[in-house]
Amino acid sequence: MTKDRIPDDEVSARSHAFEPPPGRLGALRRTSAVLIEMLELRLELIANDLELEKLRAVAILTRLLAALALGLASLALLLGALLLAVPEAYRWMAALGAGLVCALAAVLLWRRAAAVVSEGAFVATRAEFKRDREGL
């Protein structure tokens, strides 16, 4: 036998050294190991959800800013063309009508943005915690 080699019976004894003993203490150790593992999984799930929410927020803000910029540019051009096409005597009524249409569009867009935000954050994490509570 060489110095570097560990006998097989010692290797098997070392591998069984980490198993908790039978009985109440062993059950307590196994239960605590399962709880710790479950907590680790939940923390990983929270971290994943945070990353998803961050990406979702960036995507929403990017799209909103692009839509806002394009919408303002097109609105200015269309209102200018509309007001120039209307006879001078009726321009104030045309400006008022265009303003009302723009306000209505703003309200509708605000509601759509609020609906996207109201989907809620951490959907997967909350569902997993709910299943955990039901399982206990």
Contact at 8 Å (CB) between 49 and 125? yes
Q: Report the pLDDT value the prediction gives residue 1, as an integer from 0 to 100.
A: 47
For tokens 């723009």, the residue is: 102
**How confident is the model over 4-13, as pLDDT tens digits?**
555 555 545 5
pLDDT > 90 fraction of the chain, expressed in percent and rounded: 18
Name the amino acid, one letter, at 14. R
Confidence of residue 3 (pLDDT cuts 50, 70, 90): low
- This prediction has a pTM of 0.43
3 burial class (0-12, 13-18, 19+ CB within 10 angstroms)?
Answer: exposed
User: CA Rg, the chain, in Å?
Assistant: 32
